[in-house]
Amino acid sequence: MTQARALLPIAAALALSSAPATAQVDGFTVVNNTRGAISGLSVRRVGSDEWLPLQVAPAAGARARARFADADCAFDLRATVAGAGAVMWTGVNLCGVKSLALNRDSAGRSWIDYE
């Protein structure tokens, strides 16, 4: 019985180490590639109507750290861009992201580049 008790902590450690890691958002850097200053950047879960402010407003070409944590991964981002008005990026995967670039071209198309 003492041998079985000695193996119990090892078995428990192996079981915990093989458990899958849960994905989640834990902050990220926003790179403003929209050609205009960003204000009012906010985020919502895909399918939700509740927008949450991110408290970052990077100038054109600048970076800013967004402090945001959530267990979900799929979000929409929305911002007011100087010279363009309201711009939205939909279906953004924020899990495991260290940095993302918010892009907008002169034709009004918006997209995300993950860095």
- Looking at the domain 23-114, which fold is it? Immunoglobulin-like (2.60.40)
Neighbours of 11 (CB within 10 A): 10
Q: DSSP letter at 23?
A: P
Check if the beta carbon of residue 75 is closer than 8 Å to that of residue 44: yes
What residue spans define the domains of the chain? 23-114
Q: Higher-confidence residue: 26 or 72?
A: 72
Q: Give me 68's structure tokens.
A: 């945001």
Average pLDDT of the residues of the chain: 84
Determine how β-strand 25-33 pairs with β-strand 99-104.
parallel
Decide: helix, strand or coil at residue 18. coil
Confidence (pLDDT) at 26: 77
Over residues 11-39, the mean pLDDT reads 69
Taking the mean position of all CA atoms in its chain, how far away is CA 53?
Answer: 13
**14 — pLDDT class (breaks 50, 70, 90):** very low
Q: Is the pTM higher than 0.85?
A: no
Confidence (pLDDT) at 75: 95
